Chain A
Amino acid sequence: MALVAAAVAVWLVGWWINARLARLPLEGAARLLPPLVFGVTLLLIWELAVRGLGVSPVLLPAPSAIWARLVASLPTLRADVMQTFVKGALSGYVIGCGAAILTGIAVDRMPFLRRGLLPVGNLVSALPIVGMAPIMVMWFGFDWESKAAVVVLMVFFPMLVNTVQGLAATEPMQADLMRTYAASYWQTLFTLRLPAASPFIFNGLKISTTLALIGAIVAEFFGSPTVGMGFRISTEVGRLALDMVWAEIAVAALVGSAFYGAVALIERAATFWHPSQRR
């Protein structure tokens, strides 16, 4: 009971600190403080509540237990990340996004095709493409190729729609200016239209990072070699080793955030001129 009371106390203290912090004018790295306090509070409450209420580790393991398991099984987790993220998600991401951007540029040359493709692409983006996973596993086998194929399918249409919209975002004035310079199609494309489209393209690239990881993990539920994040999650759930599952989730969240962050950093470097990047 004392631990539960402590959990409530931690919650109140955390809230109070953040209420005080919110009133201060925070700058730079200090702006990370409130979410950090919130996160630490959450973890402490979780730990205290699980211990205080005696929650079975089969239902919800304590953060400390998860951390212990994570540290203990680093080699396994490393192998899983290599299989699922590097081989499956990353290769599919590169192929899918690359193909979509090239298709987008090709489609853009034909306005008729563009008008037809945008509604279809928007519709397909809303469809549950993950459902294609079992079919891709049937076509490409159990190893990472089928995972990459699912990822390609998942990222292709959001990326295509964003590219086509981005290429349409060129200001007519600027396009006219390029024409007065007698610029060729390719010169206009590389010096004006692709840069103008890059905020849209990066938006698509960022959305696709999460889609890629999810696609690669879910595809492993339908068959995989005995390594991989999805494989690990589904087998450890079967063995009720929930601390391992949570460790895998933590790693997935970390890898996913790092992937997203990396793309966001590249975006900042590549589109520093755009208003949304100014500070």
Chain B
Amino acid sequence: MTRMARDVLPVLTVVAGLLVVWYVLAVVLNAGFARDQAERDGVTLGPRALVAATLEQERPRLPAPHQLAAELWKTTVEVAPTSKRSLVYHAWVTLAATLAGFALGAGLGIALAIGIVHDRTMDASVMPWVIASQTIPILAVAPMVIVVLASVGVTGLLPKAIISMYLCFFPVVVGMVKGLRSPDRMLLDQMRTWNASAAQTLGKLRWPAALPYLFASLKVGVAASLVGTIIGEMPTGAVAGLGARMLSGSYYGQTIQIWAALAMAAMLAAVLVGLIGLVERVTAAAMGGRR
């Protein structure tokens, strides 16, 4: 109970506070439209009716949380998950590309980090460019990458996965280089006195020492992957996925649809980061670590 009171209560308070702010904002932002509507109908709204009118609009500037919840319920539970109108379907399309990009990016990142740690040439020449590569605002170029890849016949999941890979590999490289170098001099010398090969040192000392760094950067990486995929779905031509859903919502002024897609993306991000945290805890326990 004490732990509950200490950790959970503050979070709940903050969330409740945010919800209140949200409702107030919804009333303020939607009031103008509600008043116009009432004027056209020739009615004057009392304060209570005005508040009620702001929270029930079809295309509000800011949908109230309960409208969002209703839309989420309608598009996830009441529609078959295979239907194009189901948010589960779109989330799945996004998730598949995110996971593919995440796997590619994490793999590439780990491979690069191992290379950088073991080879001085790579360390001196590649590492600065890994950092420089991130100055290219890939999210801004994502539509181009998609269009160009489509013109050579690469469509579907892969172009999106490439963008999320590009975003994901960077935190993994940086974290893993730090992690693989984290064992101190003494331990490395100890491995040398045992005549351990480079591969043995990697497998038995460097890799286990790098795991906490790995998980920390995987969490950042998976969130970046998701963002990359969603942006990759935004250029015209994409018909499925949360990004496409946001774009079509913005074309047709379906604000509730945009917010629902955003909420779904937020949930995906939270679940993915949570899953990695879970794997982290299981691995730490299996390795005999205490946290």
Interface residues of A in 118-132 (CB under 8 A from B): 119-120, 123, 126-128, 130-132
What residues of chain B lie closer than 8 Å to A222, measured between beta carbons? 250
Among A120, A134, A253: residue with most chain B CB under 10 A: A134
Q: Determine whether A117 belongs to the interface, using a CB cutoff of 8 Å to chain B.
A: yes
What is the size category of the interface that chain A forms with chain B?
Answer: 35 or more
Interface residues of B in 241-279 (CB under 8 A from A): 242-243, 246-247, 249-250, 253, 255, 258-259, 261-262, 265-266, 269-270, 273
Please give the distance in Å from A66's CB to the nearest CB on chain B.
13
What residues of chain A lie closer than 8 Å to B210, measured between beta carbons? none
Contact of B126 with A38 in the complex, beta carbons under 8 Å? yes
Known contacts: A59-B151, A131-B261, A230-B140. The answer to whether A113 contacts B10 by CB under 8 A is: yes
Contact of B121 with A19 in the complex, beta carbons under 8 Å? yes
Contact of A257 with B132 in the complex, beta carbons under 8 Å? yes
Contact of A34 with B227 in the complex, beta carbons under 8 Å? no
Q: Which residue of B lies closest to A116 (CB)?
A: B10
Closest 10 CB pairs of A and B: A116-B10, A134-B250, A35-B128, A116-B14, A217-B140, A34-B124, A38-B125, A126-B223, A22-B120, A115-B10
Please give the distance in Å from B182's CB to the nearest CB on chain A.
16
Contact of B147 with A237 in the complex, beta carbons under 8 Å? yes
Distance in angstroms between the alpha carbons of A37 and B128 in the assembled complex: 11
Contact of B269 with A127 in the complex, beta carbons under 8 Å? yes
Bitwise interface map of A from 6 to 37 toward B, beta carbon under 8 Å scored 1, else 0: 00000000010011011100100001001101
Q: How many residues of B contact A (CB 8 A)?
A: 60
What residues of chain A lie closer than 8 Å to B139, measured between beta carbons? 130, 214, 217-218
Q: Determine whether A39 belongs to the interface, using a CB cutoff of 8 Å to chain B.
A: yes
Number of A-B contacts (CB under 8 A): 161
What residues of chain B lie closer than 8 Å to A127, measured between beta carbons? 223, 265-266, 269-270
Q: Determine whether A265 belongs to the interface, using a CB cutoff of 8 Å to chain B.
A: no
Q: Which residue of B lies closest to A234 (CB)?
A: B143
Contact of B140 with A120 in the complex, beta carbons under 8 Å? no
Q: Determine whether B144 belongs to the interface, using a CB cutoff of 8 Å to chain A.
A: yes
Known contacts: A113-B14, A132-B262, A134-B250. The answer to whether A18 contacts B255 by CB under 8 A is: no
Distance in angstroms between the alpha carbons of A245 and B10 in the assembled complex: 48
Distance in angstroms between the alpha carbons of A27 and B69 in the assembled complex: 60
Contact of A130 with B227 in the complex, beta carbons under 8 Å? yes
Q: Determine whether B136 belongs to the interface, using a CB cutoff of 8 Å to chain A.
A: yes
Please give the distance in Å from A93's CB to the nearest CB on chain B.
14
Bitwise interface map of B from 117 to 156 toward A, beta carbon under 8 Å scored 1, else 0: 0001101111111001011110111011001100110000
Q: Which residue of B lies closest to A111 (CB)?
A: B10
Q: Determine whether B160 belongs to the interface, using a CB cutoff of 8 Å to chain A.
A: no
What residues of chain B lie closer than 8 Å to A15, measured between beta carbons? 121
Q: Determine whether B231 belongs to the interface, using a CB cutoff of 8 Å to chain A.
A: yes
Q: Determine whether B7 belongs to the interface, using a CB cutoff of 8 Å to chain A.
A: yes
What residues of chain A lie closer than 8 Å to B143, measured between beta carbons? 221, 233-234, 237
Among A58, A114, A135, A254: residue with most chain B CB under 10 A: A135
Bitwise interface map of B from 214 to 250 toward A, beta carbon under 8 Å scored 1, else 0: 0000011001001100110010000000110011011
Contact of A126 among B126, B243, B269 (CB under 8 A): B269
Among A39, A123, A127: residue with most chain B CB under 10 A: A127
Known contacts: A138-B250, A139-B61. The answer to whether A210 contacts B135 by CB under 8 A is: yes
